[in-house]
Chain A
Amino acid sequence: MPTNPRRRFLQLSGVAALAGCSQQPDAKSAEEQLPSALGKPIRAYGERSSFETAKRAVPDLKRPQIGSTRTPLAETEGIITPSSLHFERHHAGVPDLDPAKHTLLLHGLVERPLVFTLADLKRLPSASHIYFVECSGNSGGEWKAPGGANAAAGFGLASCSEWTGVPLKILLEEAGVKKEGKWLVAEGADACKMSRSLPMEKALEDCLVAYAQNGEAIRPEQGYPLRLVVPGYEGNVNVKWLRQIKVVDQPNQTKDETSKYTDLLADGTSRQFTFLMDAKSVITYPSGGQKLSGPGFQEIRGLAWSGRGTIDRVDVSTDGGKTWQKATLQEPRLPKAFTRFRLPWTWDGKETQIQARAVDSTGYVQPSREELTEARGLNSAYHYNGIKSWAIATDGSVKNA
């Protein structure tokens, strides 16, 4: 059929009218979007579209070498955090390490102290696993009062990557751990030589000396060229820029396992070596700072994770915790990794609060804020994993509740 210009026009406006439900009035028509000139040439290293803006908000700090940026969780999809958006937490800045010169020293209570270059490590049996890394200070602001204005502010010190490296067990076996070697202490090559102690049991279980993240070399902010990956344990022990591991008979009591990263309880005592990250979840859509387009279908989405194993169930409430529905969990559900959950929902346009509650493979149920603060008081600073509520107003705006 020859093209009838009028008919064509009607068809186009039909499409435009449909699109109009959600598009801004000045959006280009599909026709105008079609390129009339040649596009950009091939390039050596890819970049995202210039229209994409998701970023880690950089706070204005007096000393920007000591601080953190957070993953904009509400702007990530699936379970993998893009390496460029993985949260940062540094204690003395990001060192610029030459991989040709970088080595890992393994010594202490071992039969054979060893030095490894990157090349030495890369020829050994490697493994790739998807694991989350979460700073135990994540959501720390929620202890005193629910405070995170959006998913990034309240939960963004957690990210999930595919890590590739040599199982630490292989290196320890090569060195031959003596029987008194019950702990190890790992140190980074940053200016403060950040160091943490770790029980030998965990080192032999599933730790990786990782050299790659999401298919390429680890990013400088994540520990290039080597980082310790300690699945399910608090972020700080995943020592970045790893330069030495010493096998010892007792923890070293470093500053970051005494002064920091210990959990003060109401009675004034503190828990120490609280490595495991308990089950936690956050709804990323709708979440703080977003605005729903209007009543009708809205898919609720979020992330759940547990340092103890897999996520077995996520319950979602759309009525402020009165009733709960089981969300669909995206497969594969991997241990110590983010699990994406989704729930179809029809918003009636009324004010309400939405919440998610994660249950892991050990049967652990993510606690309410009340349950958590009753057990630990308000001063713990670390390891906050209470259920989060987002409040939806009649105009569709979503806020921290």
Chain B
Amino acid sequence: MLKVTLLAALALCAVGQKYNAGRAATPEEIKATDQFMAPDGTGLPPGKGTAAEGRETYSRRCARCHGQQGQGDEEGPLVGGKGTLATPKPLKTVGSFWPYATTIYDYVHRAMPFDNPGLLDANQTYSVVALILHMNGIIGEKDEMNAQTLPKVKMPNRDGFIRDTRPDTGKKKK
């Protein structure tokens, strides 16, 4: 009898759980919610696109705010700034500053167009990402971006980042 009650009590809590908190997530809800795309390509969806294919979507959905050539308009530029990072007027753009190409897909997919995020499908997103890379002179007009090729694009400022090396100030004063 005692044995049975003990077993029942254990069964109430999933193994390893102290508080039996929350409920198990289903694979479907994880798939629907998880839209993270990691630098190694984890999470990138099937689909493909080239810069040439991206022009139409870009003109319709992005140019109003970022300029027809990505030079910036109502909002900041997506292009330019090469060689400016160590000058008094650094221009940080996708081309001059971003270390990973996967971040462009992740961000455009989650947040752009600003006033209607999530509007583009995977092919449109790959092609717009390809166009931004092409406008920055990083890939060719016909280079196909997909879940395999995008993580392999080496961004110009890939090696421009270091970890936190502080404290670099604040030494003891008498």
Contacts and interface: CB of A to CB of B under 8 A. Distances in A.
Interface string B52-95: 00000000000000000000001000000000011010101010
A288 to B, nearest CB: 24
Contact of B161 (A117, A255, A272, A363): A272
Interface in A104-131: 105-107, 111-117, 120-121, 124-125
A114 B21 contact: yes
B166 A367 contact: no
A197 B169 CA distance: 26
B85 A268 contact: yes
B163 interface: yes
A193 B35 contact: yes
Nearest to B99: A258
Contact of A174 (B19, B92, B100): B19
B166 A112 contact: no
A266 interface: yes
Contacts of B167: 278, 364
Nearest to A113: B25
A248 interface: yes
Contacts of A279: 170
A115 B23 contact: yes
B5 interface: no
B92 A115 contact: no
Centre residue among B24, B99, B167 by max chain A CB count within 10 A:
B167
Contacts of A272: 161-164
Given A274-B164, A364-B167, A254 B111 contact: no
B160 A269 contact: yes
A116 B22 contact: yes
A171 B16 CA distance: 12
A262 B161 contact: yes
A189 to B, nearest CB: 10
Given A124-B19, A268-B85, A270-B160, A252 B114 contact: no
Contacts of B169: 278, 367, 371-372, 375
B14 A367 contact: no
Given A171-B21, A246-B34, A375 B168 contact: yes
Nearest to A107: B30
A271 interface: yes
A376 B161 CA distance: 14
Contacts of B34: 107, 244, 246
B127 interface: no
Contacts of B107: 254-255
Interface string B102-142: 11001100110010010000000000000000000000000
Given A195-B110, A253-B102, A259-B92, A124 B21 contact: yes
A378 B161 contact: no
Interface residues on A, range: 35 or more
Contact of B22 (A63, A114, A379): A114
A170 B161 contact: no
Contacts of A112: 14, 16-17, 24
A181 B16 CA distance: 17
B171 interface: yes
B39 to A, nearest CB: 5
A378 B89 CA distance: 10
A364 B98 CA distance: 32
Contacts of A113: 24-25, 30
A176 B97 CA distance: 37
Contact of B98 (A191, A259, A268): A259
A322 to B, nearest CB: 14
B170 A255 contact: no
Contacts of A121: 21
A248 B99 contact: no
A16 interface: no
B17 A268 contact: no
B19 A364 contact: no
A311 interface: no
B162 A193 contact: no
A302 B171 CA distance: 23
B137 to A, nearest CB: 18
Contacts of B97: 258-259, 270
B14 to A, nearest CB: 6
Contacts of A170: 19, 21
Contact of B106 (A174, A254, A364): A254
Given A107-B30, A253-B99, A185 B36 contact: yes
21 contacts: A106-B22, A106-B25, A107-B33, A114-B23, A117-B22, A171-B22, A192-B111, A193-B35, A193-B111, A243-B33, A246-B34, A253-B102, A258-B99, A258-B100, A268-B85, A269-B162, A272-B162, A273-B163, A276-B164, A364-B167, A372-B169
Given A105-B30, A259-B92, 10 more contacts: A112-B24, A191-B117, A193-B111, A250-B40, A252-B39, A253-B38, A254-B107, A255-B106, A272-B161, A365-B172
Among all A-B residue pairs, the 8 with the closest Cβ atoms:
A268-B86, A192-B111, A114-B22, A268-B85, A113-B25, A367-B169, A364-B170, A255-B107
